Chains A and B, each alone.
Chain A
Amino acid sequence: MTVMTQRVTQARVVQSEWTKLRSLRSSVLSLLAAVVFIIGFSALVPAVIAAHWPPHDPADRLGFDPTSVSLAGVFLAQLAIGVLGVLLVTGEYATGMIRATFAAVPRRLPVLWAKAAVFAAAALAVTVPAVIVAFLIGQSILSSQHIQTSLGQPGVLRAVIGTSLYLTVVGVLGLALGALLRNTAGAIATLFGSLFVLPVIVHFLPSTWSDHINKYLPSEAGQAMTRVHHEANTLSPWVGLLVFVLYAVVALAAAAVLMRRRDT
């Protein structure tokens, strides 16, 4: 009973992590939930708006953005994606699986890189089609009032794909926080605290401060990429995405340093 055992490589660890991702019902369901949120709201929100068009308040009409209206479900989808990113790591710590994983890959870091790569690929593969379908459904509903837009309009395709990129980075940030904190509740609280609560706190500061700080916060920076029109006191789309990615990279780097050192 001899076995051909070859060395551990990054590619093999990626294959292993893909098996882990697809073989857990909870991860498949999380991705499915994200798709349902994105596509479900793409019908709901535009239908309500189209039924009440034109709005009484002219300001509503002025600020109307058919792209973001059709992608409203993203705000719910980010919960599913973020939690999935966290659980991919903390699920292993909670169950003890991480010991088997590190016994198989004692250098450890290939596991972190593989998890991030497999997750990012899966999140993109699921959310890119979902946001495009959601956009098209939303626009076809809005077209009853002739207030739709199209992927050919300036900035629209970038904003649609940018929404998918935003979701993916939210998940990678969650994954990194999971590896950093090794605790599901703590990582989820930190992830959504930094995405949703930080802007609220900054909002209380004098506007001379908050205008400067706010645009660099993770959620604000990341969402710059999802907007068709560049708003005041926000970063430009690509700079915003870069800042958001930097948050995830810094968290991953910190997780990597600790992962190598810590006892398991």
Chain B
Amino acid sequence: MIEARGLTKRYGAKLAVDDVTFTVQPGVVTGFLGPNGAGKSTTMRMIIGLDAPTAGTVTVGGKPYRDHPAPLHEVGALLEARAVHTGRSAYNHLLALAQTSGIPRSRVDDVIEAVGLQDVARKRAGSFSLGMGQRLGIATALLGDPEVYVLDEPVNGLDPEGIRWIRDLLKSLAARGRTVFVSSHLMSEMALTAEHLIVIGRGRLIADTSVEEFIAGASRNLVRVRTTDPSRLRAVVEGPDVAVSTADDGALMVSGLTTDQVGIAAAGAGLTLLELSPLQASLEEAFMDLTGDSVEYHAGQEGVR
């Protein structure tokens, strides 16, 4: 379990993380979502004690990370930028880290095999592709068989097979009761992997909710309806909180009502419906709605034109 209370980090004039409070529970994959520059990496660095909070606290398993006598057994971390000396082989990198906690060589061999690096384990880590580097980072996180995993953008640079492998790995770790906290700016990936979401933008907590609720709460949920008489249906359903637009194929897109409400209204007016379906916003759209104002770096509209 990870508990952040009023966690704040200031770099000079810039407030990178602003009074964030959340709890990451064991047994589920928790996605940590936010645009680039939202404060995800800073928050993760504070969890494992690399950066000191300006204010507030963050604990892992009830204690600050620094106070754990066997830290690799407590948290396995994959950090955003590669944290590997380029001149050292993957095997020796893992061995040196394992030795700090008395983890045996056999475990080093095990994690190398678990991430599929056995053929290149004796090669310099500097010669690794981004994907191999990520696998080495995952191997580092697995070394101490920890209770908590803190993974910053683990799917970065992985091929589709590697992405699927990470997804399965994270789910299996959560199924074994581990706490899995994984950051991403890719909403689609989180939709497939995470059950719970913590969303931040510009350093502030925006949402702390299940993936389902997050999508359901999005304002873009639409009802798609086709009828023999679109103009009458439009008149029937329109109201102060309801917006209706027409799709290319002549169907009406209704926002602000459920499918049930649209169906009942149509029946009351004696209209014939040809199609009635809910269009759920993707997690991506839900995310854009929520973080629209909090994206750090907007692409200027002028530049798009």
Contact = CB atoms under 8 A, between A and B. Distances in A.
Using C-beta atoms within 8 Å of the partner chain, give the interface range for chain B.
35 or more
Interface stretch (A3-11, A41-49, A177-185): A3-11
A73 B75 CA distance: 48
Interface string A1-25: 1111111110011011101100111
A96 to B, nearest CB: 5
A119 to B, nearest CB: 15
Interface in A211-256: none
Contacts of A62: none
Interface residues of A, number: 38
A23 B50 contact: no
A20 B103 contact: no
B25 interface: no
A103 B48 contact: yes
A99 B110 CA distance: 23
A98 B68 CA distance: 19
Interface in A69-114: 91-92, 95-107
A149 B140 CA distance: 56
A198 B188 CA distance: 60
Nearest to B66: A106
A17 B95 CA distance: 10
B107 A3 contact: yes
Nearest to A92: B85
B84 A95 contact: yes
Nearest to A26: B87
A57 interface: no
Contact of A23 (B65, B75, B96, B101): B96
B97 A100 contact: yes
A99 B101 CA distance: 16
B265 interface: no
Given A104-B71, A106-B66, A20 B96 contact: yes
Given A20-B88, A100-B140, A104-B101, 4 more contacts: A9-B102, A95-B87, A99-B79, A263-B51
18 contacts: A3-B104, A5-B144, A6-B102, A7-B69, A8-B71, A12-B102, A15-B99, A23-B96, A24-B85, A24-B87, A26-B87, A95-B82, A95-B85, A100-B83, A100-B93, A106-B66, A107-B66, A264-B50
Interface of A: 1-9, 12-13, 15-17, 19-20, 23-26, 91-92, 95-107, 261, 263-264
